[in-house]
Amino acid sequence: MISLIKNKINHLAPPTHHYSSLLLLPLSSKHTSSTMAAPSSETKSPSSSNTQLPLKPIPGSYGMPFFGAISDRHNYFYHQGRDKFFATRIEKHNSTVIRTNMPPGPFISSDPRVVALLDGASFPILFDNDKVEKLNVLDGTFMPSTKFTGGFRVCAYLDTTEPNHALIKQFFLNVLAKRKDSFVPLFRNCLQESFAEIEDQLSKNTKADFNTVFSDASFNFMFRLFCDGKDPSQTNLGSKGPKLVDTWLLFQLAPLATLGLPKIFNYIEDFLIRTLPFPACLTKSGYKNLYEAFKTHATTALDEAEKLGLKRNEACHNVVFTAGFNAYGGLKNQFPYVLKWLGLSGEKLHADLAREVRRVVNDEGGVTFTALENMPLVKSVVYEVMRIEPAVPYQYARARENLVVSSHDASFEVKKGEMLFGYQPFATRDPRIFEDAEVFVPRRFVGEGEKMLKHVLWSNGRETEEPSASNKQCPGKNLVVLLCRLFLVELFLRYDTFEFEYTQAGFGPTITIKSLTKASTI
């Protein structure tokens, strides 16, 4: 996952939601005013072309070699910000499928040219593994050195046609399946520790750092999950695990970000972090500590990997990557997103959630899988957060063959080998698909609204699809949804409401808790 590092590096401009609907609207004159399924052209299989749509050349330009990519990069980071960068090109070309360059560009990326897919109709072709390949495209148009991962190309960088992909992916699916009964009690334990820490900070300072506390909770949960319940504080890591992962991620992903320095330093920053990639030796010691901790304590999981035919050391490097890069990296942003939108929605929603949570928990006799499935408002809120502000804003793939990509209004020919890039916030806030696409609607997916879940795309696949060894959908997709629901349940079992402040950075909101109101009813 790419949205990862809190306050260390961040995109200059956070998502500004009005851009997508404002500039897509002129292309959307035929949309209706009610929440409904997308037009028939959108609901077709993403790999099929719509013969009723006109076939057009892909508009846009890459500019002059080298200089065009540099210009686009400066606009993206320093002059426009990411949403405006895409929105102005949509407006200029009157198209949601365009040609552009994507960072990091020269000299780190050998070819920054992409075909950008900026609506919910064209985006899903990125999930069609018969049409596109995902070879070394996790981070876009460049790939960090494999020295960051022990010399191995871990599963996230493998294409589905590579034999090791199915083997490693099945290993993770097996690990999660065998540990499913521990998800709820283990994470509730982590949540209870985290809320106790929040309360302790509030009692001392009248404010609490939500991000740091729940980053630690995310790491602790993933470590305990893979390591048979072992608390990382009882290992060689102590309390350093999250910081070690943050540093390791920082040096891999720095070319995709900006420090947010004053404008006078923009070009200096650009030169320093995007001329040459950072060497893995800068994180060698910290990564070794992480690897040794998992190697020592994730013995049951690594035994399972060997039974499948994976080498133990390769499996361990994959575990570190999945637990650190994918899971921890995603969750440490996902919980702030949930709390941000929950807080902005106000006390009426808090009261409704508290009533639902407490009623169902009382009826079911506790927090169980069945109880969680019987909380439609809780489920809808989680899905709506993932729709309106997906934690992973980018998806990349390369065309396996000559193919046709269709937006709502036209079809476009893509040549074999061209890089496809999808900007997910524009796909999931597409006004041709969702009514009030820029508005957080807590009950959007309740009742008949569940039919719209096929347009929630946060997990490298549709929410209505399931991860398998043969696709690239996140193996922990269902676990992430479960943990977000558990977060809401634990929050409203303990509290009626809360007050908060947030500042927006490119990699997610930074949340400060100002107060917590203890639950008035149980």
- Pick the closest to residue 246 from 219, 270, 275, 228 (CA basis): 219
DSSP H/E element including 343 = helix 329-345
Number of residues assigned to the chain: 522
Token representation of residue 204: 């001392």
Q: Are 167 and 309 in contact (CB under 8 A)?
A: yes
The 3-state DSSP class for residue 502 equals: strand
- pLDDT at position 257, please? 87
Burial class (CB in 10 A: 0-12, 13-18, 19+), 512: middle
Q: Which parts of the chain sit beneath pLDDT 50?
A: 1-49
pLDDT in tens, 160-205: 999 999 999 999 999 999 999 999 999 999 999 999 999 999 999 9
Task: Report the distance separating Cα 9 and Cα 6, nearest Å.
Answer: 7
Per the annotation, does 474 bind a ligand?
A: yes
pLDDT in tens, 219-270: 999 999 999 999 999 999 999 999 999 999 999 999 998 877 888 999 999 9
- pLDDT at position 258, please? 86
- DSSP one-letter code for 512: E
- pLDDT at position 47, please? 38
Q: Are 457 and 427 in contact (CB under 8 A)?
A: yes
* Residue where the block lists tokens 């079911």: 364
Q: Are 418 and 405 in contact (CB under 8 A)?
A: no
Q: Are strands 55-56 and 411-414 parallel, antiparallel or unpaired?
A: parallel
Class of domain 53-518: mainly alpha
Token representation of residue 321: 């990557």
**Helical segments of 77-182, H only:** 82-93, 163-178
The domain segmentation of the chain, as residue ranges, is: 53-518
Burial class (CB in 10 A: 0-12, 13-18, 19+), 239: exposed
For residue 317, give Cα distances in angstroms to 222, 289, 343: 15, 12, 38
Phi, psi of 132 (to 5 degrees): -130, 155
The 3-state DSSP class for residue 63 equals: coil
Q: Are 169 and 469 in contact (CB under 8 A)?
A: yes
Before 104, cis peptide (omega within 30)? Answer: yes
Q: Are 405 and 97 in contact (CB under 8 A)?
A: yes
Token representation of residue 124: 């899903």
Task: Report the distance separating Cα 468 and Cα 466, nearest Å.
Answer: 6
Helix axes 299-308, 163-178, angle to 10 degrees: 140
In angstroms and rounded to an integer, the radius of gyration of the C-alpha atoms of the chain is 22
The 3-state DSSP class for residue 520 equals: coil
- Pick the closest to residue 141 from 202, 100, 192, 172 (CA basis): 100
